[in-house]
Structure 1
Amino acid sequence: MAHSQFAQFLHEATCPDHESGRTLDDDSLYGLYTSWCSLSQQEPQPEHLFWDAMSQRVRPGQSLRMTGPAAADYILCSYRALV
């Protein structure tokens, strides 16, 4: 179950970033995941399972960027935390 959740998260909330060559840092990727879980009404899996799944699905050096409703939610929540 958790593995399909992680695949769905990557499909719905990330996309390749071929232009900048940069990728999301660890905090941003996990924060995006928790935003996606909240919007999708899914229970976030423990962080160690998340990172195990990401190591199997995201190649080292692979550039990812945020996309979709979870990206907007994460950015807005992050901004509020900074104010």
Structure 2
Amino acid sequence: MDLVVKEQFILEERRISLSEVHTADEIWTTGTMGELSPVVKVDGRTIGNGEVGPVTRKLQAAYKKLTEQSGIPIPNYLET
């Protein structure tokens, strides 16, 4: 959520209805290992135009930059 605010997007945390999900321009999920994962379909319905949107792409890039600058590198199993 901090990243959303830092990138100057409006953040609103609330419950949403399934109809809001179905009519959203963009949807993404996030988690500790999943970073930002775009969602292009829910219940078989296309979200937005069915492609990863510009907000999601900008947040993915910002998250990648943040982890490169302040994250702890995870060793690549091929490097062992």
Q: TM-score, normalised by structure 2?
A: 0.31
Q: Which structure carries more relative contact order (alpha carbon 8 Å, separation 6+)?
A: 1
Q: Normalized per residue, which structure has more strand? A: 2
Which protein shows a greater Rg?
A: 2
